[in-house]
Amino acid sequence: MCDQNHLERWAKKELDRRTFGAAGLAGMAAACAPVDQAVSASGEASAVTMRKVSFATGEGTLDGEFYTSGTTPRPGVIFWPDIAGIRPAKRQMATRLAEEGYAVLLANPYYRDVAGQQFEDFASFAASGGFQTVRPWRGKFTAETKRLDNAAAARWLMQQDEVARDRGIGVQGYCMTGGHALYGPWSEDVISAGASFHGGGLVTGSETSPHRTLQEDGHYLIAISQDDDAEAPTHAGILREAGQDTAGAEVEVYAADHGFCVLDSPSYDKAEAERAWARLLALYSEAL
């Protein structure tokens, strides 16, 4: 999972990359810029719209950004970003998901302490002591807070006109929020799918370890990076066994390193990220 050693290596790699000059950075910014026009999976051409939102959870005010397209109500998705939080790369990913026909809440996992964007990109996070900055914020995450946040987000989504109330809700998470995603169907009955990408802490000794909370009627996608698998080679098997009693659980080790799904990660691997993205869409098509 994403730890201090990962970040130190990534920070060096990204700083080395930045020596190539502003042109390279401009290219990254363009790749992560929001898309103005979209065509949904149903073929409906429309602009993706975003509005900033906030709502009470019982432990504070959760803020985020809500991405939609078209006029037809869509299945809702709770999108938890990785350790560097809301930023352009995650906005691009949320926009792309809205293009595919989903109403996407890009949620701030750190809302108990701060609101909105805190880091411009993963490089600035890694190179400026981001890990130390977010450590106390992350320290407030427990199984119960993740469950509470998913439940509050799901209830909020179901109150929005853009969300189809007769469809299930999906939750997806990356790195530290991979567990948020697997807790999804455990959090609220309306949440029917959870997708974890190079998630950390999915198998622990706790009674509320994510692998022990998988629901019989839940659908799951668990994409494990090859280096995480090398560090914990028994976890994929444990997760597969835990998923046998669910509606469906796809557990796979991908041929790329931790962070491979995230556009601004030094470990981003386009081929494996696209393969994981296709499996995400297949999950949502079946479950939502």
pLDDT band, residue 155 (cuts 50/70/90): very high
pLDDT (0 to 100) of residue 140: 97
Instruction: Give residue 86's Cα distance to chain centre.
Output: 10
Instruction: Report the alpha-carbon distance of residue 104 to residue 171 in Å, rounded.
Output: 10
Nearby residues of 64 by Cβ (< 8 Å), 6 or more positions away: 52, 53, 54, 86, 105, 106, 107, 108
Angle, helices 4-18 vs 22-31, to 10°: value is 120
pLDDT at 46 over 80: no
pLDDT tens profile 100-148? 999 999 999 999 999 999 999 999 998 899 999 999 999 999 999 999 9
pTM metric for this prediction: 0.89
Domain map (residue ranges) of the chain:
4-19+36-287
pLDDT tens profile 206-265? 999 999 999 999 999 999 999 999 999 999 999 999 999 999 999 999 999 999 999 999
Asked if residues 224 and 197 have their Cβ atoms less than 8 Å apart, the reply is: no
pLDDT at 31 over 50: no
Instruction: Report the alpha-carbon distance of residue 184 to residue 44 in Å, rounded.
Output: 29
Q: Mean pLDDT in the chain? A: 89
Q: How does strand 169-174 pair with strand 76-80?
A: parallel
Q: Rounded to whole angstroms, what are the CA distances from 163 to 103, 218, 262, 264? A: 6, 20, 26, 29
pLDDT tens profile 18-29? 433 333 333 333
Instruction: Report the alpha-carbon distance of residue 209 to residue 242 in Å, rounded.
Output: 11
Asked if residues 272 and 257 have their Cβ atoms less than 8 Å apart, the reply is: no
Q: Could you say which DSSP state residue 116 is in?
A: S
pLDDT band, residue 38 (cuts 50/70/90): very low
pLDDT tens profile 198-220? 999 999 999 999 999 999 999 99
pLDDT at 41 over 70: no
**288 compared with 3, residue with greater pLDDT:** 288
CATH of domain 4-19+36-287: 3.40.50.1820
Asked if residues 174 and 157 have their Cβ atoms less than 8 Å apart, the reply is: no
